[in-house]
Structure 1
Amino acid sequence: MATGVLIAESLRVGAVVDDLALTVRKIQRSASGNATADQPSVWTLVYFDVADAEAATLAAHLSEVLEVPGWYVDLHTAQESLIVFSGRVFRYRRGDPRGRAEAEEYGRAQGVPDSQLDWPT
């Protein structure tokens, strides 16, 4: 089972994410603590599970609806990380420093501050 976190405010206005085979485990609303000038100070975090076999499909769908700049979604199976940006998905073996570094570098180039590049290893 893959797990992930989506910040609801990261979705483009008018975006629709439907026909999903996922389980929402928790929804949390909290002050972000490290929002950039382009981001709201309060975020709605949606923690979810999705079957490993559906993770790549979900990642591709989410890459079509994320706002730019500076947003991403992280999904993780036991073996892989999928880091989703608008129009781009990074997929690498968990614990692979090169794969993570590539995703982090891309995130920085998209305006994600280092303090938000905090997905699990």
Structure 2
Amino acid sequence: MVTGMLIAESLRVGAELNVVPLHVTRIWRGDVGSPPAGQPKVWTVLHFEADDDSAARLGESLAKALDEGPWYVDFNTADEKFVVFAGKVFSYRSGDEAGRAAALGHAATIGIPEDQMDWSV
């Protein structure tokens, strides 16, 4: 089962996610304090699930839907991590430090604060 979180404000205006059925398991809205430039102070977070066989398609769809700037979506299958940015998808297996480092390196280049780069697998 794919499990992940999507910040609604990270989607580009006009973007639509309809390639992969998502099951929303939780929605919360909160004040994130002092976000970096390009991010609003209040986020709407959707926790979701999907079928494992849709993970790659979900990553590609999210890469097309995310706004440019300091945004990403991360999700997991049982043994693989996906980190998705606007136009770019990273995936790596559990314990693959090189794969994780590649995603972290890209995140740093687009202005994602280090304390938001908390994904692993």
Q: Settle same-fold status: TM greater than 0.5.
A: yes
**Cα drift, residue 110 of structure 1:** 1.1
Q: Take 2:67 and 2:101, find their aligned partners in 1: how far apart are those partners? A: 22
Contact (CA 8 Å) 1:23, 1:50: kept in 2 or not?
yes
TM-score w.r.t. the length of structure 2 is 0.94
Number of matched pairs: 121
TM-score w.r.t. the length of structure 1 is 0.94
1:64 match: secondary structure: helix
Does residue 54 of the first structure (1) align with residue 54 of the second (2)?
yes
**Deviation per CA, 1:12-55, whole angstroms, max 9, x where unpaired?**
01111124312100001011235112110010000001111001
Taking only aligned residues, the RMSD between alpha carbons, in angstroms, comes to: 1.2
Q: Which runs of 4+ in 1 moved over 4 A?
A: none
Quote the sequence identity (%): 46
What residue is the counterpart of 1:16 in the other structure? Answer: 16
What residue is the counterpart of 1:86 in the other structure? Answer: 86
Q: Which runs of 5+ in 2 are unaligned?
A: none
What residue is the counterpart of 1:43 in the other structure? Answer: 43
2:65 match: secondary structure: coil
Q: Take 2:40 and 2:2, find their aligned partners in 1: how far apart are those partners? A: 27
Contact (CA 8 Å) 1:34, 1:116: kept in 2 or not?
no
Q: Which runs of 5+ in 1 are unaligned?
A: none
